[in-house]
Chains A and B, each alone.
Chain A
Amino acid sequence: MTATTPVEKVAEVLSAANFRRITTPLNLAGIQFDIPAAFVGTGTSSDFILLVDTAFDTEKRIQQKVEGIARALDSIGSMRPLTTVITGPRPLRLVIDAMSRVCRVLPLGVSNGATQDADIRNWLAVLLPLKLPEPSDVAEGAAAEFASAGAADPVTMALIEASSQGREEVERCLSMIISKPLDDIAAGHEI
């Protein structure tokens, strides 16, 4: 990243993710809103993203602008999901909560230089495309694979069958299977 302001850094990330920057100040339903930058999604995304910087505007002023933009979008029946990315020092919780009622708020805050870029990416991740690794084949059903594998002996069959009713049943079945030959003798032949 070569940008020097957080707004521009965010702008770089969004541009790279196929968001289209639109000219500011915004003109919505005939009202003009002066904000540092704004983006809209392309393709399958319909996101509308506002970028603001608390270093340049007061929190109160930012809140009024965001609420104004939301009302303007409503008035023209726009279905675009609205997101506000706040750069600069993080506003009061109260202000964020108020804005959250009308849009998604991503307060980036200010972190030390080393993690700044990573933090920005993390905050913006939700807006970025999901990159999935090459998906592996689905594992075959465990027990199913198993049941078909070794059903040669009645002993094995009985144990597999018992396993559907839990561990105790398997133990009971095992006990019975192992004890039976000897128990049979004991029953018929007591010394």
Chain B
Amino acid sequence: MMPRLKSITVTDFRSIRGSVSVQLDAPVVLIHGQNGAGKTSILSAIELGLTGAVHSLSRGGDTDYIAHLPHKLGNQGRVALTVDGLDGQSQTADLIVTSSGVQNRHLLGVELSRFFTERCYLAQSTLGRLLEIYQYQDQKRKNDSALTKFVKDLLGLDQLEALIDGLHSTGHVTRLRLLAPSYWAASKDDIPKIEGELFKLAAEQTQIETIIASSRLRVQQYFAARYPDNPSAATTPETALQFVLDGQEEAQLQLIARARRDLQASAAQWSLLVQNTQAVERASVEAEEGDARVALDAWRYVTGKALEAIHQEILPIFPDILSPSVGDPELARSVAHQAIDTELQRITSLLARDVADVAKLSELNQSIKQGKARTSVLDDQIAESAGLTTGLAQLLAQLVPHIQTEDCPVCGRDYSEISSSPLQAHVSERIASLTAQAGRLQALATDKAQTAGLVTAAEREHAEILNRKLTPELRDQMKTRRARFEELKAKLQGLESATAEGVALQRRASMALQRLSDFRSRDERSTSLRLSVGEIAQKLGQPIPGTAEPLEGALGRLLEYAEAQERLILDQKRTRLEVNNDIKAWQSAESRRTELKELIAKIKDRLQQLQNAKTEADRRLELARDLGRQAREARAAIVRRVFNDELNKVWSDLFIRLAPEEQFVPAFALPDKSGGSVEAVLETLYRSGGKGGNPLAMLSAGNLNTAALTLFLSLHLSVKPSLPWLIIDDPVQSMDEVHISQFAALLRTLAKQQGRQLVIAVHERPLFEYLALELSPAFPDDRLITIELGRTADDMTTAVYEPKIYIPDRAFAA
């Protein structure tokens, strides 16, 4: 007995308000209702009753959908579904749905639940996505095509795909770089690095051991030679170091160096003294000094005295003048000569000007006299013209217009009586005469002023000359001095060569004296040199040179000793420094050895940890890799089972039924037998055979929809009908009338010939009626149930349920 849906009661579930109870016990159940009336709610209630979930809601990614299953106005929904023929008996699921979950047991087990959601129930949302499948197909990224997603959804491959994709990176270690950076770092960097580090450290350890052995050997050899009675001195670097402290030789070296330097300086001084000390030369120097001194004294007595006398004479006149007996006599002489000469020139010019002034005075007296005489003449002339002023001329000019007749306008007398010329002419003449007079007067005044100025200038010069004129006493004194100075000048000139000789004598005497004193100081230095060499010998611990030993020999002896000593000490120092370095190398190598030991232990420990961890990580990786491989195999198996030639054949058959005119039929490119990812690639085939192109290019929009719908039906029909149910939610939304009528015929075939129980929801009234007619019972026991969903005034859901039974047709005799 085939399983059959019998009845369902839905209460406050999704968009259904109140309680709706409908019978489903018919080959075909048609559900009609406006959008929102509850068609989809009934269908998803069937799904919930069967599988305990609503996959069409969870597929959208909404995992909280259960909270929204009860009607928004009721706090709990209820679904009671009865199915016949499950395990040979009638079963009923009574599910309580609250916002927190679903209570009670659904009807189907895992396998059948899967069958139902994959192959029996085509939800509206899934059908909606069928349309997208073609619109967004991207040929380049086959794995991600919408069709592939759809197929995966339909087959429940999502989880498997998630597993495979998620484990993709286990395929190759390089892919783990981003996913598990610490693992990547451990295997690619950390472990090799640590191993490399260990290797280097081991090498260093060997090197350190060598250093310790060799330096210890050298140190012990040194100590055996140097401190033979102290065998424990070189057991450790620390004790050894006590014996070779720095700076032991420095004081000694400094002492010797200083002594050597002093000796060298003494030798240099000595050679200098020896060079210049010649007894013969000394005697001649002394004689020369005596001679020079006598000659100088003689010169001083004659020339020096003469110069001094002159100096004394001119000193009152030139108080600043140099004395010849103090400094250079020639300089004193020439300065005195110069001073006398200058004074002589001054006196001479003074006296000459005085003579000129006398002559000038008499000249000036004459000029002044003449100027004064002229001034008085000019005064007289000015006085003469003084009455005739220019003012009168102007008055007369004003009067001229008033002279009309010969009668004088002033006195009234007739001018013609006096002269034959007219009065007016007479007045004009007079005016002209007066004007000329005025001009002359002006000139006279100017002349007088000039003359007076010249006289004044002459008088001023006169006074000036008078003023500077020498008094007779002074003039006489000047004359006397001029005579005396002329004499002194001559005398100084005469002394010129004698003075030069004096200068030479002076120089000679002083040089001789200088050389003599040099000799004296050398004698003193030689004595002190011998003393200091004695001191140095004492410091060096060498015999002090006696008077019998030549100083030069003693110096050589001491120098040789000091140098030998210095070499010896330096040699010791070098050896000690070498040993010191050896000890230090030994010491630092010892401490490094300890460090290395600890470090190596630590790193080995770390490496062990890392390797353990990596081994564990590798084990896990291997498990994950295995899992991925199993998942891929499982997927390949599933895909191979589902996408086979049978599926394509059924699909093609169904598609042709719905689109008889279409030249192409869609088909799956069958997956490679060897496995690999699901490549649900669609292609089209010519009906006559041969491949067409991408359905998107080859099929019209309506036929694409048809292709999608028939694909679903094919998936159902290509397997044994564990559940012979097809529940389709509003499948004809974008079909044209031709396709609808074909689809109706196909549904009829499925229901009546293939024995499938159909539950179809439609929302268009005419379509509902058309389908009701097309799917009406065709034979006895055939049956059609129509359910019309609606709402009451208070928004409660109503369901009008009507079973239609077979009525024998009267048109033709059967």
Measuring CB to CB, which residues of chain A are less than 8 angstroms from any residue of chain B? 22, 28, 40-41, 43-46, 48, 73, 76-81, 83, 97, 100, 104-106, 115, 118-119, 122-123, 125-127, 129-146, 149-150, 153, 155-156, 159-160, 162-171, 173-175, 177-186, 189, 191
Contacts and interface: CB of A to CB of B under 8 A. Distances in A.
A138 B649 CA distance: 17
Contacts of B167: 159, 170, 174
A183 B182 contact: yes
Nearest to B178: A175
Nearest to A80: B809
B166 A181 contact: no
Nearest to A182: B182
Contacts of B182: 179, 182-183, 186
Contacts of B612: 181
Nearest to A122: B660
B649 A133 contact: yes
A150 B630 contact: yes
Contact of A149 (B630, B779, B782): B630
Contacts of A153: 623
Given A141-B111, A175-B180, 6 more contacts: A44-B753, A129-B749, A131-B653, A141-B114, A146-B631, A163-B162
Contacts of B649: 133
Interface string B612-632: 111011001101101100110
B741 A100 contact: yes
A163 B163 contact: yes
B792 interface: no
A185 B687 contact: no
Nearest to A29: B811
B656 A122 contact: yes
Interface string B136-168: 000000000000000000011111111101110
CB-CB nearest 7 A-B residue pairs? A170-B166, A46-B778, A181-B613, A163-B163, A44-B752, A178-B180, A143-B159
Nearest to B777: A79
Contacts of B486: none
Contacts of B641: 136, 139
A177 B626 CA distance: 15
29 contacts: A22-B812, A41-B778, A45-B752, A46-B809, A78-B811, A100-B738, A106-B660, A122-B656, A125-B657, A125-B660, A126-B749, A129-B753, A131-B653, A135-B718, A136-B646, A138-B719, A138-B722, A142-B155, A143-B160, A150-B626, A153-B623, A156-B624, A156-B626, A168-B166, A170-B166, A171-B166, A171-B179, A174-B179, A178-B176
B721 interface: yes
Contacts of B803: none
Contacts of A134: 646
Contacts of B495: none
A156 B627 contact: yes
A94 B661 CA distance: 18
A133 B718 contact: yes
Contact of B180 (A165, A179, A185): A179
B638 A142 contact: yes
Nearest to B622: A155
B180 A135 contact: no
Interface residues on B, range: 35 or more
A141 B156 contact: yes
A65 B273 CA distance: 166
Residue of B165, B654, B778 contacting most chain A CB atoms (<10 Å): B778
Interface in B308-329: none
A159 B810 contact: no
Interface in B733-791: 737-738, 741-742, 744-746, 748-750, 752-754, 773-774, 776-779, 782
Contacts of A78: 809-811
B160 A146 contact: yes
B513 interface: no
A130 B716 CA distance: 14
B634 interface: yes
A135 B110 contact: no
B78 interface: no
Contacts of A141: 110-111, 114, 156
Contacts of B810: 76-78
B642 A139 contact: yes
Given A78-B810, A78-B811, A104-B745, A146 B634 contact: yes
B688 interface: yes
Contact of A28 (B185, B656, B717, B811): B811
Contact of B776 (A79, A126, A132): A79
Interface in B453-488: none
B746 A126 contact: yes
Given A79-B809, A132-B650, A178 B179 contact: yes
